[in-house]
Structure formats: C-alpha cells, structure tokens
C-alpha cells in the first residue's frame, strides 16, 4: 500500500472487524478490504451499492461470467491483483460454463460483450454492432460490471495492492459468500449517488479539484500529471509518484481523494460512452 492511512487510518469498528476476521481466517485483511473500510462515506457505500447487484444480482449473465468480465477488464488495466482475484472467483462462482484460462468454450454472447467492454475500458472507438444481437438489458448489465472494475482496477494499481500469503483463497471465498456486501455497521452515510459522493460532498480537497481530476479539465500541478496517470495508465504509477505529491506538501488524505476522483471520473466517462454507443 502506498498510503499509510490505508493500512493504519481506519475507524475503531473497522480495526476490530479486520482483527477478528484476520484471527478467524488466519490471514491479514486484503488491501481491497482496507481500502473500502477507510473513510467509507467518501466512496465505499455508493460503490458497493453498484457492485453487489452488478456482480450477484439477477442478470442475463451468470456470476462466473460476470467474474470473467471483471477479469478481462483487469487485463486491460494491467492490474495483476485483480486479474488473479477474479480468475479465482470465476472458478469459485462457476458451474463449468467458463474456464478463465481457456475461455474459447464460453457462449458466444459472453465473448462478444467482452470485446465490447474491452473497447469501452480503453476509450476506443466503439462498434456496438456485435452486441446488438443481445438483449439490451444484457449489455447494460455488463456495462455495470465494467463500471465497477474500471474504478477498482485503477485504485488497485495506484495504491499498489498486493496479494499476500493465504489471502487469495480465503478472501475470494469470503467475498463470494458475502455477495460483495459488507456489514452495515462498517459503512457510513453518504450521498447515494456515486458522482455526488466523490465529486460534490465536503472533503479535504475542494469539489473543483476533484471534478478536474476526474475529467482532466485543468487541475494544476502537481496534480495534473498524477491524475492523468490514474485515468489513463494507472499501472505505471510508482511509489515515487506518490512521494512527490507528499513532498509537495499534500496530505495522504488529499492524495486518496484525488486518486479516487480520477479513477471514478475516468470510469464514468467510459460507462457513459458505452451507453451512448448503444443508442446510436
């Protein structure tokens, strides 16, 4: 983790939860859990309100197929933490409908929407023709999956997520059992809408800075280049990039907020583009 607050800055209830679950499982909490339990009113509640139905709600796609789409998105962003995690979840959630290592045998509908989502994630020119044979709600459901992981992949890369001994098996099984939900007492009130929560609510940084980080429309240095990396090439972020922001006098909370804003802004841009392409 590149920010110490994501390791040690949690509220007392979150620290107790991680201590108890760590003792029961025999492994420390994965970095994704630490992220989500840090300042949950800023990002976590609205993100989980998207994630749980997208990944485990009623859908045209099976749970394993949605995990495979998440893994495919992680490959676009070159996020090893998420690639490995979702490959394992594809196996756990599946009933033989798809092998993450040999996906050619999957149903053609899944492979078609996978290619469309990869272009969405890359902000490439979108050709919706291959997915027009699918029910519209199926493509929209796939875009919901893609939105979530276009956010999380960027954050995992930016914050340097790592899988430690024992975390893959225990973490993925726990996540699958919980259906991507956290106990309510660990969360915090926040605006229900993701855009409002990340870009508009009072925080350590100004809404203007966060909106600029999300769109690329004018954040001053040292934020401009860093936010661009989060949006466009999060896998290239290094410890040095974060240290430079701290050396310039910015706090870890400010780095956290701008990183989240840049990731969410980029993901929403792709999501909106994907939905617009379906209307063309």
The per-residue pLDDT for range 192-203, each reduced to its tens digit, is 799 999 999 999
Q: What is the DSSP letter of 207?
A: H
Q: Label residue 89 by pLDDT band (50, 70, 90).
A: very high
3-state secondary structure of 189: coil
Cβ 67 vs Cβ 55: under 8 Å: yes
pLDDT digits (tens, 9 = 90+) for 251-260: 999 999 999 9
Cβ 10 vs Cβ 37: under 8 Å: yes
Cβ 213 vs Cβ 227: under 8 Å: yes
Q: Residue 192 has what pLDDT?
A: 74
The total number of structural domains that make up the chain: 2
Average pLDDT over residues 180-188: 92
Average pLDDT over residues 173-198: 90
Domain limits at 40? 5-186
For the beta carbon of residue 248, count every other beta carbon within 10 angstroms.
10
Domain end, chosen from 162, 186, 210, is at 186
Q: Could you tell me if 85 and 9 lie in one domain?
A: yes
Q: Could you tell me if 180 and 230 lie in one domain?
A: no
* Tokens at 72, concatenated: 């495919």
Q: Residue 167 has what pLDDT?
A: 96
Q: Could you tell me if 156 and 274 lie in one domain?
A: no
Q: Could you tell me if 148 and 224 lie in one domain?
A: no
Cβ 117 vs Cβ 142: under 8 Å: yes
Q: What is the CATH number of the domain that holds 135?
A: 1.20.1290.10
Domain end, chosen from 155, 186, 217, is at 186
Q: Could you tell me if 143 and 28 lie in one domain?
A: yes
Q: Is the pLDDT of residue 190 over 80?
A: no
Integer Cα distance of 50 and 57 in angstroms: 10
Strand partners, 102: 99
Q: Could you tell me if 19 and 148 lie in one domain?
A: yes
Q: Could you tell me if 39 and 128 lie in one domain?
A: yes
Cβ 223 vs Cβ 258: under 8 Å: yes
Q: Could you tell me if 29 and 122 lie in one domain?
A: yes
Q: Could you tell me if 255 and 120 lie in one domain?
A: no
Domain end, chosen from 133, 162, 186, is at 186
Q: Could you tell me if 236 and 163 lie in one domain?
A: no
Cis peptide before 270 (omega within 30 of 0): no
pLDDT digits (tens, 9 = 90+) for 157-171: 999 999 999 999 999
Q: Is the pLDDT of residue 128 over 90?
A: yes
Q: Is the pLDDT of residue 191 over 90?
A: no
Q: Label residue 208 by pLDDT band (50, 70, 90).
A: very high
Q: Residue 186 has what pLDDT?
A: 94
Q: Could you tell me if 103 and 173 lie in one domain?
A: yes
pLDDT digits (tens, 9 = 90+) for 50-76: 999 999 999 999 999 999 999 999 999
Q: Could you tell me if 17 and 155 lie in one domain?
A: yes
Lowest mean pLDDT across 13-27, 185-199, 222-236:
185-199
Question: If you search the block for the tokens 């020119």, which residue do you land on?
Answer: 125
Q: Where does 160-217 show beta strands of DSSP type E?
A: none
Average pLDDT over residues 29-38: 96
Q: Label residue 189 by pLDDT band (50, 70, 90).
A: confident
């Amino acid at each position: 983790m590149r920010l110490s607050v994501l390791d040690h800055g949690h509220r007392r209830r979150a620290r107790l939860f991680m201590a108890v679950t760590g003792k029961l499982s025999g492994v420390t909490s994965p970095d994704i859990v630490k992220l989500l339990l840090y300042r949950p009113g800023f990002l976590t509640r609205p993100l989980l309100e998207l994630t749980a139905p997208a990944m485990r709600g009623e859908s045209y796609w099976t749970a394993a197929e949605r995990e495979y789409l998440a893994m495919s998105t992680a490959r676009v962003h070159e996020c090893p933490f998420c690639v490995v995690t979702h490959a394992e979840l594809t196996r756990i959630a599946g009933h033989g409908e798809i092998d993450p290592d040999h996906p050619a045998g999957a149903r053609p509908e899944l492979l078609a929407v996978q290619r469309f989502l990869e272009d969405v994630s890359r902000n490439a020119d979108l050709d919706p023709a291959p997915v027009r044979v699918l029910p519209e709600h199926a493509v929209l459901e796939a875009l919901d999956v893609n939105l979530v992981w276009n956010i999380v992949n960027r954050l995992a890369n930016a914050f340097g997520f790592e899988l430690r001994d024992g975390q893959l098996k225990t973490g993925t099984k726990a996540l699958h059992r919980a259906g991507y939900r956290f106990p309510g007492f660990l969360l915090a009130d926040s605006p229900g809408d993701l855009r409002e929560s990340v870009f508009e609510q009072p925080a350590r940084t100004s809404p203007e800075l966060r909106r600029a980080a999300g769109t690329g429309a004018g954040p001053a240095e040292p934020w401009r280049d860093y936010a661009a990396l989060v949006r466009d090439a999060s896998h290239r972020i290094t410890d040095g990039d974060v240290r430079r922001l701290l050396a310039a006098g910015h706090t870890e909370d400010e780095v956290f907020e701008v990183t989240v804003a840049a990731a969410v802004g980029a993901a929403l841009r792709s999501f909106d583009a994907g939905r617009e392409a379906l209307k063309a």
